[in-house]
A and B are shown apart, each in its own frame.
Chain A
């Protein structure tokens, strides 16, 4: 069997059968892993045709309590230190695969929209970070709608971190500010979870200069 250098590297990281992997004469268990790896790579390429991917590692389910394997991957188009993760679960003859890469496509428009809303509500926003708890499957590709995700029509597990500048807050009642944010976002049909962090100043360190932080469930 022909294996690429990166396939060999990944398999060598999760299998003891070094010689067989090098020669391409794979054992049954390694063939199964290779098929799964290729299925994940195909899934990513088909789901996100504008991007190219490389599987860089795997934490197989074998020996864990998980029913799925975690495949670590990176994209040539995204400059990021940390890998992305896709989960694959065997379902008979095929694999059910979900990934967290979709966040890259909708993060910026969602962030911009939230900034706009909160600025209109006269909140001194320093920064907003958008992330998602859930992994989404093949049905949500590059056409994924940020609006549908924001409103929860597509449940991506929205998580927004909002950093505010305390020096520009006239009202120091942080509970009231939490309520204001909640009302503002809910009135725009936004669903998810907000983590509010208030920093002493706009150029404050997000950890050292924190004066308040708490969660808001929308």
Chain B
């Protein structure tokens, strides 16, 4: 990797991408009117109207006006970063979920920096999970098409970066376009097994250019298979948004007394996140390709509703007719998985506690869910269960909640039945490596195992057909 950008600068650029309406429309970094200005011009402009920025207001998910001002002041003394020019701002014209990106130019190193913003709306998750069943996704393709349309001749170095979905786009472009020299994917999700198998020769060729920068407790980078090197950083854990804050682009930025921003390498990924990563991988591998789209949509819907904090919507996303079968699969898998790997319960308990949820019920749930027959019995006798809970002086809130969501009892029956058919140890939870999906011939020529199997199959079909024709003659 030969970029002249430091990791701190990469983090700051990715934070800038999210600046929207800081003190007015001039405070939007990804605005076409910013073209030709430098990052320094943008920062000076924002600070010029700093009094119009409300300290307590969230200007992008999890980042307040006060935090953005802190960020701007941290950039002010950084001459190298300030001199970077915003060459082009792009609003995605084909991707149905929108998307913004920019071409930046570092004149001191003749380096082009192509940066992709991750979208922040709930719609982000539609594309995040579509990577489970689409290879490549529409958003990845659109990003690559725009990248290819850029005139990148004459630059000594080409670097791509992005946060979240933007990080995934950056990795995708690096894999698909050999011109890229460096890729810094910040909290970006990975790729499906199908993707790794399909593009394994390209991945093997270009993965050394990719560095994944992630907060140690970030929950987006754990999705699917990683490509490239990984470095985890300590998170600031302000705690305002709880667990969700681990994915904010400023989550790894620490400031000293004079406002200088620093980041600190973590020894590794948070253990509960790596446990969750493995469980998700093995769960996804347990799903047939034909049902992956449904499962992906259910997963996305659950994540969106969980992060909104709306319990009714969350319950609905589990129990409505479109999702209930997939949701039952996920719950059944998680419950069976926890029997084999009990530490998962501790991880989930910790995540819930960080989010401010009460975990008092987990002990009882943990016990009941070890016995699928007991669950089925409970699921089939909702009124009896509610009566028992009443006799046990269970809180009115819980009783009301269960009465309001009687559909959860049906879900319980479905879950318990599925639990009997699941063997969570059947599927490996480790990330699939491109090297394992590739055959190298003569240390030069690479072919994916998938392509090779197609070729071998094709050869067999042709051979059998020829023999058959000859035999007929």
Contacts and interface: CB of A to CB of B under 8 A. Distances in A.
Interface of A: 9-20, 56-66, 70, 72, 74, 80-85, 129, 131-135, 157, 159, 161, 193, 195, 197, 206-208, 210, 213-215
Nearest to A17: B322
A208 to B, nearest CB: 6
A72 B208 CA distance: 35
Contacts of B58: 65
Interface string B81-119: 000010101111111111100000101001000000001
Contacts of B89: 82
A215 B90 CA distance: 23
Contact of B38 (A64, A80, A213): A213
Interface stretch (B5-13, B24-32, B454-462): B24-32
B271 to A, nearest CB: 28
Given A12-B96, A59-B97, A59-B98, 9 more contacts: A13-B138, A16-B297, A57-B96, A63-B307, A82-B89, A82-B91, A207-B107, A213-B36, A215-B45
B90 A81 contact: yes
Given A63-B307, A132-B33, A207 B87 contact: yes
6 contacts: A9-B96, A16-B298, A63-B122, A133-B31, A161-B36, A208-B107
B59 A129 contact: no
A64 B121 contact: yes
Interface of B: 20, 24-26, 31-33, 35-38, 41, 44-45, 57-61, 85, 87, 89-99, 105, 107, 110, 119-124, 126-127, 138, 146, 149, 293, 297-298, 300-301, 304, 307-308, 322
Contacts of A14: 96-97, 121, 123, 126
A133 B33 contact: yes
A30 B133 CA distance: 22
B438 to A, nearest CB: 33
A60 B93 contact: no
B25 A133 contact: yes
B36 A58 contact: no
Nearest to A57: B98
Given A58-B123, A157-B25, A210 B94 contact: no
A214 B44 CA distance: 11
- Select the residue from A72, A74, A215 with max chain B CB neighbours within 10 A: A72
B122 A58 contact: no
Contact of B91 (A64, A65, A72): A72
Nearest to A9: B96
Contacts of B90: 81-82
The 10 closest A-B pairs by CB, nearest first: A13-B96, A63-B122, A83-B93, A59-B98, A133-B25, A13-B97, A14-B123, A16-B297, A83-B91, A131-B33
A213 B36 CA distance: 9
A82 B60 contact: no
A56 B94 contact: yes
Contacts of A80: 93
Contact of B149 (A60, A81, A157, A214): A81
A195 B301 CA distance: 45
Main secondary structure of the interface of A (DSSP, over half): mixed
Contact of B96 (A56, A210, A215): A56
B103 to A, nearest CB: 10
Contacts of B307: 63
Nearest to B94: A56
A210 B107 contact: yes
B105 A207 contact: yes
Given A82-B32, A207-B85, A58 B96 contact: yes
A61 B121 contact: yes
A133 B297 CA distance: 37
Given A14-B123, A82-B32, A195-B36, A70 B61 contact: no
Contact of B25 (A16, A81, A134): A134
Which of A16, A59, A66 has the most chain B CB atoms closer than 10 A to its own CB? A16
Contacts of B123: 13-15, 58-60, 62-63
B256 to A, nearest CB: 28
B33 A57 contact: no
Contacts of B126: 12-16
A83 B107 CA distance: 28
Nearest to A206: B36
A77 B132 CA distance: 37
Given A56-B93, A63-B124, A133-B33, A195 B98 contact: no
A167 B437 CA distance: 58
B300 A16 contact: yes
A133 B120 CA distance: 22
Contact of A81 (B61, B93, B304, B308): B93
Nearest to A66: B20
Contacts of A20: 322
Contacts of A193: 26
A137 to B, nearest CB: 14
A215 B40 CA distance: 11
Contacts of B26: 133, 157, 193
Contacts of B99: 57, 59
A213 B41 contact: yes
Nearest to B150: A81
B192 to A, nearest CB: 18
Contact of A65 (B60, B107, B119, B304): B60
Contacts of A62: 121-123
A159 B33 contact: yes
Nearest to B93: A83
Residue with the greatest number of chain B CB neighbours at <10 A, chosen from A84, A131, A193, A214: A131
A18 B107 contact: no
Contacts of A65: 57-61
A173 B59 CA distance: 40
Contacts of B138: 13
